[in-house]
Amino acid sequence: MADPTMNRQSGGLDLTPETQNLIWQTAAYQSAFMQLVPQINLPGKGVRVPIITGDPVADWVQEGGREAQERRRLLHQGHGPVHHRGDPAVLQPVPP
């Protein structure tokens, strides 16, 4: 859904809240992925969410042997809106 007034010399795109809502509603309707996952509304300044980290450990062990344990951590990763070359905001991880 391209804006006919936009071209390579345009300084940016100013979307009204009504237009933004229409775009998101259409995207959710057309995307199978967006229909299946729960929506997370981010506030304007972003939000910090817990993320489980750690690499999976797979190893062969002897019968009755002790299995390798992995260490998992719970980090709080920040996500916020970032404007990129005048495009609408995209999510980008924010360093802690």
Quote the number of domains for the chain: 1
- The residue-averaged pLDDT of 54-74 equals 70
Q: Of 26, 3, 25, give the one whose Cα is nearest residue 87.
A: 3
Residue for token digits 């992995």?
70
Domain span including residue 92: 46-54+71-96
pLDDT value of position 85: 53
Question: Is 86 part of a structural domain of the chain?
Answer: yes
Evaluate if pTM is beyond 0.75.
Answer: no
Question: Is 83 part of a structural domain of the chain?
Answer: yes
List the structure tokens of 57: 């450990």
Reported confidence tier of residue 74, pLDDT bands at 50, 70, 90: low
Question: Is 11 part of a structural domain of the chain?
Answer: no
